[in-house]
Amino acid sequence: MKIALARGPGKYGGIFRRFRALANYCESRHHDAVGLQLFAAQDGVEVDPIRTLNFSAAAIPADLWRATTVAEVLESLSPQIDRVAIAIDAEKCDGVLAADTDLKGLIVVAASRRAGVPVTTFVASVASHDAAFEGHAATRYMPEVERYCLLESDQLIFPSRMAMAECSHPEMAMPPSSVIHNGIADEFFAANADRDPSLVGAVMRLKAIKNPAALGRIARALSAHGVRLELVSDRAHARPAILRAIDGVQLVPATTDTLSLARFYARCRAVMCPSHFEASGNVPMEALASGTPAVVTRRMGISEIFPELGLGHLVVDVDDIDLSVERLLAAPPISIDLRQQLQRQFNWPAVCERILATCDGVETHARGALS
């Protein structure tokens, strides 16, 4: 089976982590795979971590931003959809793994349908939630785009039961769906550093849905206890209001180097994840694997397994600043036994095997030509 693995241009989030893990898994197992990068800086081919066909964002027409319905979005993006469909056909792909339910997901799902190739969509985020928090013009059509991706995929994979519940509606007959939690890279389980009791960490994009305002309030509260908060993030394109909200938080440049990130987690006494909503939550799991406790909100998909790990006390309500600070200061390091349990359950090779087995088992539903 040859599979196309789709992603966007970002390299700091969970979609790229999963893409990289799947690419490495396919390479190590001699599986045939090709990458599809949507909204790339330019057309072309990348070779790291796998041969990836890039489709430039410059090809996106300006009239897309005037669209109000999914039919108008599909019409506007039709040339880009055709290009991706031709690539899928030329590569002789047997299946496609789409990466989300946003515009890049729609392009990949629609292209797979045009190419007559089954597509599994990994619902990495609930795109309508993300768009609503950002307040972009795309908000008006994003619920329809999301619905298209959900209904027109042959199969869905969710990173949490919470994400599946968020996308399920009584009037929607969604395709077969599975829950596969994200994996954790080996470097985090091997992390070892001198823990700094005066340091709390955070790793997140500077987007409204990640709740940087709460992080800033938590940082100010921690400073009264002699504890500083460092945030690993890319500040490029961050809104001025968000930068003002995290005044007092020390920014550390974002990195795609897993080992550097693992060392950062291991140095922290605890890690804070204040999100308004996340379908999953890679950061807290990576922190736990590194031996560092993570405080998460109930609106993060990964919070559903914290009670199973004996860490239910580290789950807090969104914007509960006082309890977040209390838990950050009181939480002890994660035990070796729990880290080993996480490694057995969430190592990336095992997770990749489950994802690819799910994609391999998909059956194509009847397809009609898109108008």
Q: In whole angstroms, what is the distance from residue 208 CA to residue 108 CA?
A: 26
> Is the model's pLDDT at 370 over the cut of 60?
no
Q: Percent of the chain, pLDDT > 70?
A: 96
Q: Are 223 and 292 in contact (CB under 8 A)?
A: no
Range with the poorest average pLDDT among 109-118, 210-219, 252-261 = 252-261
| Res. 162 pLDDT band, cuts 50 70 90 | very high
Mean pLDDT of 256-262: 93
Instruction: Please identify, in words, the CATH class of the domain defined by 186-346.
Output: alpha beta
Q: State the sign of the Cα–Cα–Cα–Cα dihedral 364, 93, 1, 354.
A: negative
Beta bridge partners of 2: 32
| Res. 368 pLDDT band, cuts 50 70 90 | very low
- At residue 127, the pLDDT reads 80
**What is the crossing angle of helices 258-267 and 282-289, to 10°?**
70
The b/e string for 13-49 (b: 16+ C-beta within 10 A; e otherwise) is bbbbbbbbbbbbbbeeeebebbbbbbbbeeeeeeeeb
Phi and psi of 330, rounded to 5°?
A: -95, -20
- At residue 366, the pLDDT reads 36
What does the pLDDT look like over 165-188, one tens digit per residue?
Answer: 999 988 888 999 999 999 999 999
- At residue 150, the pLDDT reads 96
| Res. 5 pLDDT band, cuts 50 70 90 | very high
Mean of the per-residue pLDDT values of the chain:
93
Assign 3-class secondary structure to the chain.
Answer: CEEEEEECCCCCCHHHHHHHHHHHHHHHCCCEEEEEEEEECCCEEECCCCCEEEEEHHHCCHHHHHCCCHHHHHHHCHHHHHHHHHHHHHCCCCEEEECCCCHHHHHHHHHHHHHCCCEEEECCCCHHHHHHHHCCHHHHCHHHHHHHHHHHCCEEEECCHHHHHHHCCCCCCCCCEEECCCCECHHHHCCCCCCEEEEEEEECCCCHHHCHHHHHHHHHHHHCCCCEEEEEECCCCCCHHHHHHCCCCEEEECCCCHHHHHHHHHHEEEEEECCCCECCCHHHHHHHHCCCCEEEECCEHHHHHCHHHCCHHHEECCCCHHHHHHHHHHCCCCCHHHHHHHHHHHEHHHHHHHHHHHHHCCCCCCCCCCC
> Is the model's pLDDT at 55 over the cut of 80?
yes
Structure tokens at 59: 């090809």
Q: Give the predicted TM-score (pTM) of the model.
A: 0.92
Of the two residues 36 and 238, the one the predictor is more confident about is 36
Phi and psi of 296, rounded to 5°?
A: -125, 160
- At residue 136, the pLDDT reads 64
Q: In whole angstroms, what is the distance from residue 141 CA to residue 193 CA?
A: 46
What does the pLDDT look like over 76-134, one tens digit per residue?
Answer: 999 999 999 999 999 999 999 999 999 999 999 999 999 999 999 999 988 888 888 87
Are 2-183+349-360 and 186-346 equal in CATH topology?
Answer: yes
Residue-range domain boundaries for the chain = 2-183+349-360, 186-346
What does the pLDDT look like over 265-303, one tens digit per residue?
Answer: 999 999 999 999 999 999 999 999 999 999 999 999 999
Q: Are 261 and 255 in contact (CB under 8 A)?
A: yes
> Is the model's pLDDT at 365 over the cut of 60?
no
Q: Whose CA is closest to 248, among 212, 272, 285, 295?
A: 212
Half-sphere exposure (Cβ direction) of 326: Cα atoms closer than 13 Å:
8
Instruction: Please identify, in words, the CATH class of the domain defined by 2-183+349-360.
Output: alpha beta
